[in-house]
Amino acid sequence: MEKLIITAAICGAEVTKEHNPAVPYTIDEIVREAKSAVDAGAAIVHLHVRFDDGTPTQDKNRFREAIDAIKKACPDVILIPSTGGAVGMTAEERLQPTELPIEMATLDCGTVNFGDEVFENTMPMMRAFGKRMMENNIKPEYECFEMGHIDTILNMARKGEVPGAPMQFNFVLGVPGCAAANINNLVWMVNSIPAGSTWCVTGIGRHEFPMAAHAIAMGGHVRVGFEDNLFLEKGVLAKSNGELVAKVVRLAKELGRPVASSAEARQILGLK
Ligand code: KMH
Ligand code: ZN
């Protein structure tokens, strides 16, 4: 089995310090959380940014500032800036980080109910995001919240509308309004992607670690972090993203799966 790539989604756009005081807003806090995750074993950081008051933003300059500061503290880390941003942002707003020299970015694969809101990813939006990533040589991580997202993005890749093989998928399971976090859905999704693809799973809330355990055993990769879950265990808030990553490292060790460095993750993902 390949080594395990751990991604830390350190910030997100929805969670706040009211949910967990360690949720990062400022650049210093974002660097602190990224470093805690990398030091614990994360090869990748999935990045959202906030203004200092916690407001989510896709502002290019804020992304540049965060990326430069993280790279100073963690020079090798792979960064996956979000093009999802926060619900309600326009496509133009969301695309801003793709104007920067980045290796990867998320590409969300369809419109979904997202809690009580609608997370809009229309076909024209996805075409625009795919075109930008092809032009700027950015490898997408395809975020699939629903079964049909896989067919959608594979059809688009076949038509050359979004980057093709080797494709990296992130199966985000357990968002209220989207596919549930259970092993049947995960196995179905894994069996639906082309050979030679790579995949990771994100289990939302209390599903974070059970889904991580499935992925470790199945040969996939794992995402954890405050964007998806704030608790180390029932009733115990995580003090840092690093604590969440460290728990995955422990699970991997128990299951005999070595953890990939960022350099090893670049090889596995086919990054140059
Ligand atoms: N904040 C969510 C609405 C992504 O990063 O591409 C979307 C999201 C996905 O977080
Ligand atoms: Zn995200």
Q: Is 147 in the pocket of ligand 1 (CB under 6 A)?
A: no
Q: Which domain holds residue 42?
A: 6-269
pLDDT in tens, 228-252: 999 999 999 999 999 999 999 999 9
Query: Is residue 241 in a domain?
Result: yes
Domains: count for the chain: 1
Instruction: Determine the 3-state secondary structure of 8 from DSSP.
Output: strand
Give the full edge-to-edge strand order of the sheet including 139-144. Answer: 78-81, 44-47, 6-9, 221-224, 198-203, 168-173, 139-144, 104-108
Per DSSP, what are the bridge partners of residue 218? none
pLDDT at position 272 over 90: no
- pTM for this prediction: 0.99
Mean pLDDT of the chain: 98
Query: Is residue 208 in a domain?
Result: yes
Cβ–Cβ under 8 Å, residues 242 and 36? yes
Query: Is residue 256 in a domain?
Result: yes
Cα of 227 from ligand 2 centre, angstroms = 7
pLDDT at position 88 over 90: yes
Query: Is residue 121 in a domain?
Result: yes
Q: Is 228 in the pocket of ligand 1 (CB under 6 A)?
A: no
Determine which residue's CA is closest to atom 10 belonging to ligand 1: 84
Q: Is 106 in the pocket of ligand 1 (CB under 6 A)?
A: yes
Query: Is residue 169 in a domain?
Result: yes
Note the pLDDT of residue 103.
Answer: 98
Please tell me the number of the ligand nearest to residue 114's CA.
Answer: 1
Note the pLDDT of residue 271.
Answer: 98
What's the average model confidence in pLDDT over 184-199?
98
Percent share of the chain, pLDDT over 70: 100
Note the pLDDT of residue 207.
Answer: 98
pLDDT in tens, 33-53: 999 999 999 999 999 999 999
Testing ligand 1's pocket by substitution, the residue of 106, 114, 120, 204 carrying the most ligand atoms inside 8 A of its CB is 106
Determine which residue's CA is closest to atom 1 belonging to ligand 1: 86
What's the average model confidence in pLDDT over 148-174?
98
E strand spans, the chain: 6-9, 44-47, 49-50, 56-57, 78-81, 104-108, 112-114, 117-119, 139-144, 168-173, 198-203, 221-224, 231-233, 236-237
Query: Is residue 218 in a domain?
Result: yes
Note the pLDDT of residue 224.
Answer: 99
Buried b / exposed e over 139-155, threshold 16 CB at 10 Å, is bbbbbbbbeebbebbbe
Percent share of the chain, pLDDT over 90: 99
Query: Is residue 143 in a domain?
Result: yes
Note the pLDDT of residue 157.
Answer: 98
pLDDT at position 181 over 90: yes
Sequence-distant (≥ 6) Cβ neighbours of residue 22 within 8 angstroms: 33, 226, 237, 238, 239, 240, 241
Note the pLDDT of residue 18.
Answer: 98
Query: Is residue 1 in a domain?
Result: no
Helices (H) and strands (E) in the chain, counts: 9, 14
Q: Which CATH number do you get for residue 148?
A: 3.20.20.70
pLDDT in tens, 200-233: 999 999 999 999 999 999 999 999 999 999 999 9
